[in-house]
Chains A and B, each alone.
Chain A
Amino acid sequence: MKKNKRMILLLALCIVSCVISCADTGEKISTENTQTTGMGLDLSAMKYQQDTDAQPNFINSKVTKSDRGYYFWSPTGTFSAMMFYDIQSKQAVPLCNRPDCDHLNNDCNAYYKSIFAPGEGDGFDVMNYVQFYDGSLYVIGCDDEDYVNLYKISADGSSRERDTRLYKADFSATEESASKDWSGWVSPFVCIHRGYAYFVDNREKVPKLRRIKLGGTETEMIYEAVGTQSKVYRMEAYGDYLFFQTSDYTNYTEENPKPDGGIYVYELKTGKVRLVKKDVIATYAIADDMLYYFLDNTIWSCSLVTSKENLLVKDVCGMDFSIDEQYIYIFDKESATLETYDKKGKLVGSVGDKNLTGYYGGCDSQYLFITGSTAEVQHGTASKEVTTEPVTMEELIAEDKSFMGIIELSELQKGNGKWNYFFYSKYQTAD
């Protein structure tokens, strides 16, 4: 009898606690659409919403996509110019809406020297980040009071303004002769997602992931790295999840050649951070409910549902890769070569030239971007010679130029793939 009473009491307690918990949140939890995966991720909460979400394909790159085309920083690194590649006309132009402008001086709307590293240099280091979010472009800059800011630029480049102060740094020089010490400047990693700017100040001894509401002033700490030789990087947002990676070389030796780190996820709804894939410190991507990652010259896939892992491609040419619905695109920066594999790991095609070196600029289902230069490029005083028309690779090699390469992936899949080099700047060797 006593046992029965206890059972009834326990049951009643369970029912009451269930009722209370439902009444507390006021939310009905649908079990139909929720599929919690082997990594503890809710797949239905990972869907991309165009107006509020970061584009995972182009975060951490010099390229960003809008519904009309792609914005990218000029590849030379010497001129902080923003370019636009128009999907409709297939032309690349400086982001300046003034036909009366020759795009050769800092008055041009496409140049951003004034908001980066005022007083000295061209602030080219900030050109590692650009993001199209909610109809506007966002870039990083630093003002003369040493505040590192997010700047908002209209989609046609006609206006710009400071949007959010991320943090205050101290670039004062310790040497008497200089007023500022820009050697301490390292561009932060930034990702704007669902109304917040997530950022990592790369200058800190122990890096931290923080977030701030766009236009807000209060910063929240999300994650602090552990080791003293660590990094927090490669943020990619998928719905309610913000993925990022850490690596720590504190204990890295030849005997123990394995840096600590992995892929972490920050859950926007709960505010919790947890490790989802240990030891993965190089490129990763999420598509088709799968996590693809690079590890030790191989590309692996891992099911988000079952956590089952598969080796996809062995001995790949480079560490940068992208995924679309059908293919895996792997890029080798040493030879600017792009290799295309199907999802079973079979090589479909390859395009590139060993005379070029380049950096991966991002890829979606239509285009892939690289920035690069010819191998013999002479760095010196740069002229501002630009072209908006495609030039051939031979011309490029002959002229010693930096370039932005764009490849149309549909052409590549047909076997006609070739790079189109739209923007370049010719270097002149300093006397």
Chain B
Amino acid sequence: MYRYVFKRLLLMIPVILGVSLMIYCIMDLAPGDIIDIKAGDNIMTEEQEAAMRAHYGLDQPILIRYLLYMNNLLHGDLGTSYTYNEPVMKLYLQRLPHTIKLALASVFVSFILSIPLGIIAAVKHGSLIDNSAMILALLGLSIPNFWLGLMLIILFSNKWGIFPSGGDEAGIKSLILPAITIGTGLMAALTRTTRSSMLDVIRKDYLRTARAKGALERRVIFRHALKNAMIPILTILGTQLTGILGGSVLTETVFSWPGVGRLVVDSINGRDVPTATGLLIMKTIVMSFIVLIVDLLYAVVDPRVKARYSKGGKKKKNEPFG
């Protein structure tokens, strides 16, 4: 198991290298750079432009700049933002707690809405309840989250004054509306996955055996069926969490939530290469860890997976899996 984890951690290194090189190249290819942003509507003299390029190190070839950046990265330095003149790590750490809060709250909302809905839909497969659950899930997917966010603000903030309209200054009250906005969007995929995964499991022989042995239906569903249906659900949850931890730009914009997402988009539009590269590298690292955790949770949920990890990921020939 430890070898498996170590191997996965080592694999992150080429991923980070690849991501950082890609971002550097793409940002360099995009028209304009930070000098053009700083110039704005003014036309700089050649002298002014040369001085600014030297200040930001943009007078160096891209390969030199990239190697210098990677050298700093090895020392834990993500560079200094061109836009804000602040260390990128500082900007990231200022925003990370807000993003984590929002991500966990959104996934929680999605989880508590989707799992029961998916289970009910599977158990009452083909009924009105099943169809209603699917329509509800589809609504969550179809409604644009920026529209939903604004509607929630109009009702709960503007009209009834229950929650603040934005920011993260009122504790849990600030979190509720943005979490519902994102959570309902995530609901669709998770509900459908729960339903189809449960449907797959619910007809298995071992459940019939459990019922025949007199197990209560609740125990059959939650103790036996759900546990075996968890792998695809965990995969979706993990994907959703990584997506939100990378930042939900639209929701952050509507609720002026001080998260990572808005900062990433602003840095790309503002040609702030160190910030964009640094944040995307951090996102890559976070995503890699979450995927690893999800993979390890498979082992918790499914002993067969644990055994495979313990054997270093090797499967015996003809060994059944799944």
A in complex with B:
no
Chain B residues proximal to chain A, CB less than 8 Å: none
